[in-house]
Structure 1
Amino acid sequence: MDDLRTHIAQALKREREQAGLSVSELARRASVSKATVSQLEAAAINPTVETLWALGSALGIPFSALVAETGAATTLIRAHDRAGVPSKASPYVATLLAASPPHVRRDIYVIEADPGNPHSSAPHPAGAIEHVIIMTGRARVGTEAEAIELGAGDYLSYPADVTHVFVALEAATSAVLLTELR
């Protein structure tokens, strides 16, 4: 997590400065504390999924712009080497597998979740769609108003520009999540 935390710190500062925002203004727009933004930029604290989504939204960039690392044309991520970003509110970890190249806005994640508090995601930009394939376990997934129970191998796509949820119904539930931002 230390390498990921350092990468996030550098990306957050770069994106904030490119947007011409002060730490205070970014914090205000994202509804997080100024101390949180400062500590994230200093790599002094571990971020949560919720905080990174809020900061990305405030900067007008996808979550992946803060966590994706650029690399070679071939990328291999072994399951035991994944470094994800945990949720503060629920037993949920999101690991970015592949960020979309410029002008091809899609991001792929592995989700690992256990029963507990539901993971609720704020609406993404207008037109966003998510695709989920459950790999193991069972989960209730989709828009907050119409979440559907899925089992291993099930696929669902749904609008992600409204509040949406991922609720693990079994321990060690895992899924592949693809987010399209239009």
Structure 2
Amino acid sequence: MEELGRRISRVLRRERERAGLTAAELARRAGVSKATVSQLESGTANPSVETLWAVATALGVPFSVFVDEPDDTPTLIRSGAADGIRAADATYEAVLLAAGAPHARSDLYLLRVEPDEPRSSLPHTVGTVEHVVLISGSALVGPADAPIELAPGDYLRYRGDAPHVFAALSAGTRAVLVSEVR
């Protein structure tokens, strides 16, 4: 399996070149520094969820292209065994379980969230819809201006192309998230 930093580096360069963007233009569109883009492309950065989402949105690609290696063999991910990408501003970790095919543009994540600062997300690519099923704990989830309290087993669909939030209300909060671009 390819090391994550090398994969991000390789895929970022490929997608930036496909989009016909310079590193400076990508940085401007993503709202990050040119140095950050350069470090990501050289494999020397340790990006946060926010940085990768911003870059993916600026490139118009799913977040998963940076972290998932396509493979047709059966995949088993044992609970607690997979490393995720951590948020910079909240106790929030997203583990990519499965990425949709490039034309499908949907990703499946396991979220591990602890009570702390809410995980506030800026709008993703236009047409993004997120689906959440809460597995354990409790959380406020959905539109930033009107989040909804979820209990285990609850399902919520909301626009991911508008500001949204995920705030754990109890320890050990876990959820399944599907992010799709329609």
Structure 2 length normalisation: TM-score?
0.93
Letter in 2 for 1:53: W
Give yes or no for the alignment of 1:63 onto 2:63. yes
**Aligned position for 1:11:** 11
Amino acid at match of 1:102: P
CA distance in structure 2 between the aligned counterparts of 1:102 and 1:34, rounded to whole angstroms: 27
Total equivalences in the alignment: 181
CA contact (8 A) 1:68 1:96 kept: yes
1:143 is the counterpart of 2:152? no
Asked whether the equivalents of residues 142 and 164 of structure 2 are also in contact (C-alpha less than 8 Å), the reply is yes
Aligned pairs for 1:1-182 (under 5 A) are: 3-182=3-182
Cα offset for 1:80?
3.2
CA shift for structure 1 position 6: 2.0
Contact 2:86 2:94 survives alignment (8 Å): yes
State the identity as a percent. 51
Which consecutive segments of 4 or more residues in structure 1 shift more than 4 A? none
In the alignment, structure 1 segments of 5+ residues that lack a partner are none
Deviations 1:54-80 (A, max 9, x none): 101111111112222111242212223
Other structure's SS at 1:78 match: coil
CA offsets per residue over residues 38-59 of structure 1, 9 Å max, x none? 1111221211111011101111
* Structure-2 separation of matches of 1:72 and 1:125: 27
Q: Equivalent residue of 1:80, what SS? A: coil
Q: d(CA) in 2 for partners of 1:79 and 1:46?
A: 24
Structure 2 unpaired stretches of 5+ = none
2:126 and 2:24 map into 1 onto residues whose CA distance is: 26
Which moved further from structure 2: 163-172 or 102-111? 102-111
Please, what TM-score do these two structures have when normalized by structure 1? Answer: 0.93
**8 Å CA contact 2:62, 2:106 repeated in 1:** no
Counterparts of 1:75 and 1:87 in 2: how far apart (Å)? 25
Cα deviation code 1:13-56 (max 9, x no counterpart) = 11112212221111111110111111111221211111011101
Amino acid at match of 2:48: T
